[in-house]
Amino acid sequence: MQYHCREVNIVLRILALDIGSGTEDILLYDDQKELENCIKIVLPSPASVYSKKVKYFTKIRSSLFIKGETIGGGTFSEALKSHLDEGLKVILTKNVAYSIRNKLEEVETQGFQIIDEEKSPVDFSGETLETREINISIIQKFLSKFEEDLSNIDIVAIAVQDHGTPTHEISNRKFRLNQIERRLKYFPKLESLAFEEDELPDHFKRMKSAIRSSKSQIPEVKTIVMDTSIAAILGCLEDPKASNATTILSTNIGNEHFTASIISEGNVLALLEHHTSLMTPPKIESLVKDFIKGEVSNDTIFQDGGHGAFYTLTPKKIPDIDIIIITGPNRAKIKNTNIKAHFAAPGGDMMMTGPIGLIKAAKYKIKKEDDD
């Protein structure tokens, strides 16, 4: 299916779903409306919803068989581990097991039983739970009450966090950053990290699951996927303060990842990623200053428990930074530093930074296809 050709009087409608560990942020973009008037919804994340369901079954002491989609781990994974700790059985299909770890042998080591079948074992007497992360049908049902129809959207754009499943023995952290670096060094735009179905490598299990789920609900609509951290730092570039800047340090301080990228005239010059839980305000200040000077090494961040860093320039000559833009639920950490930063609010709403990054990526895909 081709994208709609962008001609005068053709409406572009994009459903953007940014699924984080805490919230699912939804934007129904319509290019015939002011961005501020487009429909926005913030919901609890699927992981947090399913964690509550698991806790209920733990309380009533029921074993669990879980089938369905690969979803975000986080609180869902923690609830399942607590279920095991209570001496209760948890049986998972392979797709669901990837929600916990990207290496299934590690999931089994934790005490989970993994099976291939989508139906519960014959001798199983507990409760069955089915996971679904992409909830377009539910959104459609809700919006229909307000005379909104999702059947005529052009694109579904989805952001989920996906480290990827290594095909050989390598740290998940290194593998994740290596994939980002390889893509950006080939084509240094954040938009290049948005994937269509036929572009998506097999090692992105959660992204693959997201596309399958989207297509099962609205099969005629094209779907693109992107990592949540990348969507967030891309969305920062749509903040009004970024419009007059040439070189920007765009940073997402998420619940799990601290991701920063130096972008000049739309091109990525550098990117780093650490774990937010390890980032104190003094460490943030030191790291940002060294990053801007081209002095952050990949090994230093990795040895500190992060993912790493890379520069696309050789030598690492970074232009002067015009503005530092911050987003993410832990952005307040920057207040306890001496870093002068602007809090992103594209479309007047920080919570829409990720969805707006997805819209930007989708528009880029449209333009690229039209140009081709």
Check whether 3 has a pLDDT greater than 80.
no
pLDDT above 90 covers what percent of the chain? 84
Whole-number pLDDT of residue 123: 85
Whole-number pLDDT of residue 2: 39
Whole-number pLDDT of residue 268: 97
Confidence of residue 46 (pLDDT cuts 50, 70, 90): very high
Whole-number pLDDT of residue 156: 98
Domain at 240-343: CATH architecture: 2-Layer Sandwich (3.30)
Identify which has the larger pLDDT, 120 or 289. Answer: 289
Identify which has the larger pLDDT, 11 or 67. Answer: 67
Confidence of residue 10 (pLDDT cuts 50, 70, 90): low
- Entry pTM: 0.93
Confidence of residue 372 (pLDDT cuts 50, 70, 90): low
* Contact present, 290 and 281 (Cβ < 8 Å): no
pLDDT tens digits along 278-298: 999 999 999 999 999 999 999
* Contact present, 107 and 101 (Cβ < 8 Å): yes
Q: Match 């990207």 to its residue by tokens.
A: 102
Task: Report the range of poorest mean pLDDT among 7-21, 201-215, 232-246.
Answer: 7-21
pLDDT tens digits along 133-188: 999 999 999 999 999 999 899 999 999 999 888 877 788 889 999 999 999 999 99
pLDDT tens digits along 58-91: 999 999 999 999 999 899 999 999 999 999 999 9
pLDDT tens digits along 227-283: 999 999 999 999 999 999 999 999 999 999 999 999 999 999 999 999 999 999 999
Check whether 5 has a pLDDT greater than 80.
no
β-sheet bridge partners, residue 223? 156
* Contact present, 193 and 180 (Cβ < 8 Å): yes
Distance, in Å, from the CA atom of 361 to the CA atom of 230, rounded to the nearest integer, reads 10
Check whether 9 has a pLDDT greater than 50.
no
Distance, in Å, from the CA atom of 297 to the CA atom of 295, rounded to the nearest integer, reads 6
Q: What is the mean pLDDT of residues 194-222?
A: 94
What are the E-state strand segments in 213-348?
222-226, 247-253, 257-264, 267-275, 308-311, 323-327, 342-343
Distance, in Å, from the CA atom of 106 to the CA atom of 302, rounded to the nearest integer, reads 21
3-class secondary structure, 2: coil
For 127, other C-beta atoms within 10 Å of its C-beta total 16
* Contact present, 99 and 72 (Cβ < 8 Å): yes
Structure tokens at 213: 């789920």
Burial of 289 (0-12, 13-18, 19+ CB in 10 A): middle
Check whether 6 has a pLDDT greater than 50.
no
Q: What is the mean pLDDT of residues 35-40?
A: 96
Mean pLDDT of the chain: 93
For 160, other C-beta atoms within 10 Å of its C-beta total 25
Do the strands 195-196 and 155-159 form a parallel or antiparallel pair, or are they unpaired?
Answer: unpaired
Structural domain spans, the chain = 1-239+344-372, 240-343
CB proximity list for 53: less than 8 A, separation 6 or greater: 129
Spell out the CATH class of 1-239+344-372. alpha beta
What are the E-state strand segments in 109-174?
113-115, 127-131, 155-159
Structure tokens at 284: 């943030």
CB proximity list for 366: less than 8 A, separation 6 or greater: 3, 4, 6, 12, 155
Domains 1-239+344-372 and 240-343 share a fold: yes
